[in-house]
Structure 1
Amino acid sequence: MSDSKNVIALVPAAGVSRRMGQPKLLMQLGNQRVIDHLVTSLVHPAVERVLVLVRPDDDELQAALRPYSHVDVITPPDSPAEMRESVSLLLKACERHHGGGWMLIPADSPWIEHRVLDRLIVAWRETPVNIVVPVHDGRRGHPTIFPASLNSEIELIPPDRGLNYLLHSRPERVVEVKCPEVSVLCDLDTPEDFERLKQMWKPESD
């Protein structure tokens, strides 16, 4: 049964990894692929479901996600051109779930620690009408929790702007949560990013 105190995790994963030079979500990080680390880290009591948007022609990624029972793979007829379109498609797909909010995790941010999720969920449950974003060393990172009450505003974001536009246009609705974990700033775009992550990687199970 859905719980308004829980969130739906939305993972846009329709990129083509141009700067990485190979499918970054299928790269090996320790004993698992990047996408495996991400979806297993989202097994959390407050995360009701994980919805991952994948390009319709990305057979390898679809196959990689198939074994995970807590994951719904969303494959639109056409590949979305931008992040905002991906999020809109994911929001439509999660309408059948009734969590009180949704958590946005870019697929190339695989280092999600449970203690970070715990902290963000506590902050969001205290102020469920607000956007909750982690901050490390003065920089905002991922994941970000959005209240369902702001869903309609996603479509109003200018076509050339990302979801950060919503944070900048609604500063009174943003709650920043300080996190000592550098993992909230993890972002995989280039081979250099991947090498840095491998150097810092400390899975919670270790």
Structure 2
Amino acid sequence: MATSSVAGLLLAAGGGRRFGMPKALVPYGAGLLVDHAAATLVNAGCEPVITVLGAAADDVRSRTTLPGIVIDNPDWVDGMGSSLRVGLEALGDSDAVIVLTVDTPGITAEAIRRLIAMAAPGALARATYDGVPGHPVLIGRDHWRGVAEAADGDTGARPYLARNHVTDVPCADIADGADADRPEDLPGRPHAQ
């Protein structure tokens, strides 16, 4: 049986209004929050990894070397939906994509691999944490156009997922899906500077 090819799509374009700075530039671990998220996708086996930048994109590029493909969303101020559309347009011939946001540092490679195990062109799955949907989200190739058409503002894929059957994948035992909307939300702030 052939294995499915799964890309990783990291959404890291926002200005971080509530955080006080673009989240992609937040120091975290040995580098930046964007480094941590990209490495998590790579460690989970996503290939290629596509990172969508927007706010302070030049600063991000000057402070880190991200794996895979790095693209800019010129309309990043319109919200996550525009970054999701830009990222989906950049995907090649993968069977599915794992979508991850830069502000979820508690997501683990193990959680991503749970979703990758379900990858197929027709798949739709998302991680849940004690019954609450979160990231990462697995979107099969057959759904990319529909997701892109529905993505608007900061809702991302949510409207499309609400209209379609989505497999919920419990991940609370191996990951923390909380968003880091403010500096105090960062878990442990490992080596934050």
Give the structure with higher Rg (CA). Answer: 1
Match of 2:68 in 1: 71
Separation in 2 of the partners of 1:60 and 1:21?
16
Match of 2:168 in 1: 176
Match of 2:123 in 1: 130
Separation in 2 of the partners of 1:102 and 1:57?
25
Higher helix proportion (structure 1 or 2):
1
Structure 1 SS opposite 2:52: strand
- For the 8 Å contact 2:15–2:55, the answer to whether it is kept is no
TM-score (norm 1): 0.79
Match of 2:9 in 1: 10
Structure 2 SS opposite 1:9: strand
Deviation, 1:156, is: 3.2
Q: Is 2:182 the counterpart of 1:187?
A: no
Deviation, 1:77, is: 4.3
Distance 1:198 1:42, change over 3 A: same
TM-score (norm 2): 0.84
- For the 8 Å contact 1:131–1:175, the answer to whether it is kept is yes
Structure 1 residues 48-85: Cα deviation after superposition (integer angstroms, max 9, x where no partner): 111111127531112234x23x3211024454512111
Bigger shift: residues 28-37 or 46-55: 28-37
Amino acid at match of 2:101: P
Map residues 25-174 of structure 1 onto 2, 5 A cutoff.
25-44=24-43, 46-55=45-54, 57-65=56-64, 67-68=65-66, 70-94=67-91, 97-124=92-119, 128-157=121-150, 159=152, 161-170=155-164, 172=165, 174=166
Match of 1:19 in 2: 18
Unmatched segments (≥5 aa) in structure 2: none
Unmatched segments (≥5 aa) in structure 1: 202-206
Using the aligned pairs only, state the percent identity.
26
Separation in 2 of the partners of 1:7 and 1:177?
17
User: How many residues align structurally?
Assistant: 188
- For the 8 Å contact 1:141–1:184, the answer to whether it is kept is no
